[in-house]
Chains A and B, each alone.
Chain A
Amino acid sequence: MASGDLLGVSVSGALASQRALATTGHNIANANTEGYSRQRVDLGTRTPQLAGNGAIGTGVTVNNVERVYDDFVAGEVRTNTSTDSSLRANYEYTSQVDNLLSDPNAGLAPALQSFFSAVNGVSEDPSSTSARQVMLSEAQSLSDRFQYMHDRFDTLREGATAEMKSVVTDINDLAKSIGKINDTIINAQEMSGQPPSDLLDQRDRMVQKLSELVSVRVSEQDDGRLNVFIGNGQTLVVGSEVSEMAIEKSRFDPNHAEIVFKGNASDSVITKFISGGRLGGILEFRNGVLDPAQNELGRIAVGIAKTFNEQHRLGMDLESKLGDNFFTRAEDLAPNILPNGRNQGDYKISADITDIDKLTTSDYELSYRDGKYRLVRMLDDKLLGEYDKMPGHIESEGFRINLEEGSRIANGDSFVIRPTRRGGEVFAPLVKNTKYIAAASPVRTEALVSNQGNAEISAAIVDDTSHAAFSQGNKLNPPFAIRFVDDTHYEILDNSGNAIPIQKSARPAQPAISASEKGGGPATPAEPAQPPELTTRIPYDSEKGANVFPTPDGQDYGFRVRITGNPKAGDVFRIEFNKDGIGDNRNALELARLQSKPVLDNGSSDYSEVYSQLVSRVGSKTHELEINRDAQKLLLDQAIERKQAVSGVNLDEEAAKMVQYQNLYQANARVMATANKLLEELINAFR
């Protein structure tokens, strides 16, 4: 055995332990480096020297510096990161809505309450200008509050769009970097024949960053290049080829941002397919929280405006004129129609709200494709109707779509209908002068002072001022008088004293006496049907009283009046316009009652209940997101822990390794010294 061999062996050991110590040092140095995977030297024996007496060992060699890494665990971290940052982004935005709705100063509930307090104030004191002024100011505050909340929603939408833009820019940058590092990795690998661990870690970190922004899928090519897919399979990175994404204005609505994938052949809108990451979280917030909340706010505004207007128009103002719309007119509350900017046909459609208690918070899409018109509720993509040809109008959930004009529609044309989105924005009081608050009811009933009987006439309940009876401004057309011709009959006189004929009821006033009551005699045969006979003498039953209007044969003049008690022949009751009845508060009472009248949600909720449902819905959503976020955080932490368990640096372990390799080095040095000594002995032997 040659001492030269021994020297060679010991040198290989010393070099190998140096390499191992260096790697340990590298690990210690990068112990806190994000995304660093610890490295390990893989030692192997050198090729033995074959001799007659066997294979003689020639020392140690470093096979490889290995990167300790588990693809599966890394993938798990990526998926969990995407979900985590999606929930986080959604929570951040949703909690802003949550705070906005609950703010005792900014929420709708206090403004609504103050407004109705003011309406009550007017009902207490209908002719007081100051009470009326308070009502007008509170109406303005209510409208300001709607406006403010609507604007805040818009601001949130703008903020979301701005962040979407910057996120997409980051995605594009990361995609470019990944494409570039793919190339660098290939080159390094070709040069060394070994996978470049630190570069792989860098790429891995980029993909990790990317999955914070949006959910991606990755697959590694055989040559070590990494491909990245987004949406429903769009290739963001293939090798070193990189595609771009962009935020563009929706073809329906310039304020609505869509995510566009700029592929080689054509651009495609992929908003629907994006999930995960901040981008997915923002989109989820926009579709699941912001749009429904803003639509709900609009729905409340539309509901208040429409019902309040209807009641206000049944009233009479201080100038003895019929009330006008108090809030925004129905035409101005009409749903938004957004035609697709790329529509080829010339169809124009409009829409109006028909039934506020059936309105939902969704938007709708009407599209024409392959010979069929389809109406889809966008919130849950439910098909509401399918038509072979466009009907004149389509009635749907509380609104009606009308075909305005146009004869040609092209395949793929579409319209988005937003029934209530703008409600909060357009809601405004139209009455600006205290005189025009219609607190009174426009019909007065009175018994003449000369009446002999004790019969009483009820106050009139007005339910339709669009009837021709109200067409003449401040008088009834015609005013009526009820005159009793005897104690049990009355006639209805118009202003020229003519009695109004009504149809005699087809059935006898008293029900036919049944056979048994008659004592077994034959039942009275029913009178044969006859053409309606007209009469001006209308029977009156003093025990039950009578509904004078609408008349027994159904003539309805837009108001309801009853007479009860015992009239005497010649008694007269007058029904006329309530001119100068400015102390009357009947309509103000009805207006005040609207506060707790269930007019929304199929007649199950009043205004403030709908608002509290919105508060609780957003609150629940925020709460749910908070819980999910915390749970997801735990899952993510566990995944990171698993990844770190494999790839992370443990300093104690490295310390031990360091001692181990140091000892190895020292031992090899000792062997070297021994070899030296051996050589020395040999030289001295010949001296």
Chain B
Amino acid sequence: MRISSHQAQQTAINAMLEQQEKLSKVQEQVATGRRIAKPSDDPIAAAKIVNLRDVLDTVQQYQDNINAGRARLELEEGVLQNVTDILQRVRELAVMSNNDSQTNENREFIAQEVSQLQQALLGLANSTDINGEYMFAGSKSKFTPFTRNETNGFDYDGDDGQRQIIIGPNRTIPTGDPGSRVFRNIKDGNGDFVTLDDPGNRGSGVIDPGSTTGEYKGGTYAIIFETRELPDKEQEITYKVIDGEGKEIVPAGTPYQEGAAIRFAGVQTKVEGEPADGDFFVIRPSMNQDMFTTIQRFIDALRNENDSQAEANTALHNEINRTLVGMDNALGRILDVRADVGARLNAIDGQQEINESQQLQIREILSEVEDLDYAKAVSDLNLKLTGLEASQKAYTRVQGISLFNHI
């Protein structure tokens, strides 16, 4: 084939330009360490990179959520630890004051300490987090959840809302507990029923919180005591039990024996001391009561000013019995919540590890897709350099030859 001199020149120059372009591409790769500068360099890998980055960012988001969630849960755990300490101290004080030898003065000291503990507990229930939000107000986090009202009761202004965070794909976890669950919705009495002494009782009868034999259906009952002077100067104490409609379910005249079990309708309890004639105790179903009220009742009982020291003592013993189960119930609840918090902390730790290993895997894949294989790139670079040099040499050699040189 004929070769046009002009074309031969052009072809040689084009070849060199092409070599230079390839060289500059490899040079850019080596300089940036990245295999792909723009999507068209490798469209499939480019789309993969966008997706992988997206996944990586999302996982990072989970990790951020986890860190924020852990901080909240650890804060809650700290508060609950303090709550436990306070409840235990109240319980100790209840045991300590459950003694007739305590003077009124001593009881007042105890009442003062309990009152301070109650105040501290209220403070803990109204704890705020780093953002100044109430931790135990549910969703109404700008409202002080627990406040004392005019009747010395306690109002809850929060709700049952529970904040969740996303810690993994399709995995959410609560990062808090509403105050209603932690402090308020705690059953009084033994959880099934509560045994109450009538404030007008004159005898020394102290009723046990009791337990259910499993068939308690939730009715209200009264245990009414009667005394009869016996001819031999001994008093005979008997009792009867009536239900809410006044029906006798334990017949009148059933002899009372101190400390012996009194059983009816699934209720099992006992009375100690000597009830007076007409004294009665009421059994009603347990109701929710907040722990502040439980403690308030204890304080009120400690400060009970009754003309008769004996009657005051009896009332106090009855109240302390209730306080003790109340504290046990409260401690049980806090324990449950703390167990939940611990389980959640475990769950987010586990998820964090999963997320971390996922991040690692994705980074590896990303690096495989995106990063340059230096060994290959450098040998590529050498090859391209040799190519360019060769075509330059060829050009100078070939272009020097012309027939005109010989004419």
Query: Complex: how many Å from CA A616 to CA B14?
Result: 31
The answer to whether B137 and A623 have CB atoms under 8 Å apart is no
**Known contacts A452-B286, A578-B139; A623 and B43 CB within 8 A of each other:** yes
The answer to whether B140 and A580 have CB atoms under 8 Å apart is yes
**Known contacts A582-B142, A615-B50, A619-B47; A449 and B184 CB within 8 A of each other:** yes
The answer to whether B218 and A568 have CB atoms under 8 Å apart is yes
The answer to whether A583 and B165 have CB atoms under 8 Å apart is no
Query: Complex: how many Å from CA A117 to CA B54?
Result: 12
For residue B69, which residues in chain A have a CB less than 8 angstroms away from its CB?
124
The answer to whether A619 and B40 have CB atoms under 8 Å apart is yes
The answer to whether A444 and B40 have CB atoms under 8 Å apart is no
**Does B260 reach chain A (CB closer than 8 Å)?**
no
For residue B403, which residues in chain A have a CB less than 8 angstroms away from its CB?
651-652, 655-656
**Does A182 reach chain B (CB closer than 8 Å)?**
no
**Known contacts A116-B61, A581-B161, A593-B166; A651 and B143 CB within 8 A of each other:** no
For residue B11, which residues in chain A have a CB less than 8 angstroms away from its CB?
637, 641
**Known contacts A124-B68, A612-B51, A648-B6; A452 and B287 CB within 8 A of each other:** yes
**Does A257 reach chain B (CB closer than 8 Å)?**
no
A611 → B minimal CB distance (Å)? 7
Interface residues of B in 36-63 (CB under 8 A from A): 38-44, 46-47, 50-51, 53-54, 57-58, 61
Residue of B nearest to A613 (CB): B47
The answer to whether B166 and A120 have CB atoms under 8 Å apart is yes
The answer to whether B2 and A612 have CB atoms under 8 Å apart is no
**Does A618 reach chain B (CB closer than 8 Å)?**
yes
The answer to whether B47 and A580 have CB atoms under 8 Å apart is no
Q: What is the 8 Å Cβ interface bit string for chain B, positions 162-186, against chain A (1 contact, 0 not)? A: 1111100100100000001000110
For residue A583, which residues in chain B have a CB less than 8 angstroms away from its CB?
133-134, 137-142, 161, 163
B125 → A minimal CB distance (Å)? 15
The answer to whether B53 and A109 have CB atoms under 8 Å apart is yes
Query: Complex: how many Å from CA A95 to CA B14?
Result: 22
Which residue from B40, B43, B159 sits with its C-beta under 8 Å from A581?
B159
Query: Complex: how many Å from CA A450 to CA B188?
Result: 11
Q: What is the 8 Å Cβ interface bit string for chain A, positions 346-375, against chain B (1 contact, 0 not)? A: 000000000000000000000000000000
The answer to whether B160 and A98 have CB atoms under 8 Å apart is no
The answer to whether B61 and A651 have CB atoms under 8 Å apart is no
Interface residues of A in 92-126 (CB under 8 A from B): 95, 98-99, 101-102, 109, 113, 116-117, 120, 123-126
Query: Complex: how many Å from CA A112 to CA B251?
Result: 78
Q: What is the 8 Å Cβ interface bit string for chain A, positions 633-652, against chain B (1 contact, 0 not)? A: 00001001100111111111
Residue of B nearest to A578 (CB): B139
**Does A592 reach chain B (CB closer than 8 Å)?**
yes
A141 → B minimal CB distance (Å)? 15
**Does A659 reach chain B (CB closer than 8 Å)?**
yes
**Does A10 reach chain B (CB closer than 8 Å)?**
no
Which residue from A98, A451, A596 sits with its C-beta under 8 Å from B38?
A98
The answer to whether B161 and A645 have CB atoms under 8 Å apart is no
**Known contacts A445-B160, A655-B404; A582 and B139 CB within 8 A of each other:** yes
**Does A32 reach chain B (CB closer than 8 Å)?**
yes
For residue A595, which residues in chain B have a CB less than 8 angstroms away from its CB?
58
**Does B65 reach chain A (CB closer than 8 Å)?**
yes
Residue of A nearest to B52 (CB): A612
The answer to whether B218 and A655 have CB atoms under 8 Å apart is no
The answer to whether B140 and A120 have CB atoms under 8 Å apart is no
**Does B375 reach chain A (CB closer than 8 Å)?**
no
For residue A645, which residues in chain B have a CB less than 8 angstroms away from its CB?
1-4
The answer to whether A649 and B38 have CB atoms under 8 Å apart is no
B92 → A minimal CB distance (Å)? 28
**Does B308 reach chain A (CB closer than 8 Å)?**
no
**Does B285 reach chain A (CB closer than 8 Å)?**
yes
For residue B396, which residues in chain A have a CB less than 8 angstroms away from its CB?
none
Query: Complex: how many Å from CA A99 to CA B51?
Result: 18
For residue A651, which residues in chain B have a CB less than 8 angstroms away from its CB?
5, 402-404
Query: Complex: how many Å from CA A584 to CA B163?
Result: 6
**Does A620 reach chain B (CB closer than 8 Å)?**
yes
**Does A172 reach chain B (CB closer than 8 Å)?**
no
Residue of B nearest to A569 (CB): B218
The answer to whether A622 and B40 have CB atoms under 8 Å apart is yes
Query: Complex: how many Å from CA A620 to CA B48?
Result: 13
For residue B286, which residues in chain A have a CB less than 8 angstroms away from its CB?
452
Query: Complex: how many Å from CA A422 to CA B176?
Result: 44
Which residue from B38, B50, B57, B180 sits with its C-beta under 8 Å from A95?
B38
B305 → A minimal CB distance (Å)? 30
B115 → A minimal CB distance (Å)? 24
For residue B142, which residues in chain A have a CB less than 8 angstroms away from its CB?
127, 580, 582-583
For residue A581, which residues in chain B have a CB less than 8 angstroms away from its CB?
138-140, 159, 161
The answer to whether A648 and B288 have CB atoms under 8 Å apart is no
For residue A447, which residues in chain B have a CB less than 8 angstroms away from its CB?
160, 185
Query: Complex: how many Å from CA A109 to CA B69?
Result: 27
**Does B28 reach chain A (CB closer than 8 Å)?**
no
Query: Complex: how many Å from CA A615 to CA B46?
Result: 8
**Does A295 reach chain B (CB closer than 8 Å)?**
no
For residue A98, which residues in chain B have a CB less than 8 angstroms away from its CB?
38-40
The answer to whether A616 and B68 have CB atoms under 8 Å apart is no
**Known contacts A584-B139, A641-B7; A623 and B40 CB within 8 A of each other:** yes
Residue of B nearest to A38 (CB): B4
**Does B306 reach chain A (CB closer than 8 Å)?**
no
Q: What is the 8 Å Cβ interface bit string for chain A, positions 648-664, against chain B (1 contact, 0 not)? A: 11111101101100000
For residue B139, which residues in chain A have a CB less than 8 angstroms away from its CB?
440, 444, 578, 581-584
The answer to whether B43 and A655 have CB atoms under 8 Å apart is no
Query: Complex: how many Å from CA A653 to CA B166?
Result: 81
Residue of A nearest to B286 (CB): A452
The answer to whether B2 and A459 have CB atoms under 8 Å apart is no
Residue of A nearest to B290 (CB): A449
For residue B50, which residues in chain A have a CB less than 8 angstroms away from its CB?
109, 608, 611-612, 615-616
B150 → A minimal CB distance (Å)? 19
Q: List 11 A-B contacts (CB under 8 A).
A: A116-B61, A450-B287, A459-B161, A584-B161, A618-B39, A640-B7, A644-B7, A645-B2, A650-B5, A651-B404, A655-B403
Chain B residues with CB under 8 Å of chain A are 1-7, 11, 14, 38-44, 46-47, 50-51, 53-54, 57-58, 61, 64-65, 68-69, 131, 133-134, 137-143, 156, 159-166, 169, 172, 180, 184-185, 218, 285-288, 402-404, 407
Extra contacts, 17 of them, besides A449-B180, A584-B138 (Cβ < 8 A), are A95-B40, A101-B39, A117-B64, A120-B61, A123-B165, A124-B65, A128-B131, A452-B286, A581-B139, A583-B139, A584-B161, A616-B50, A618-B39, A619-B42, A622-B39, A650-B3, A658-B407
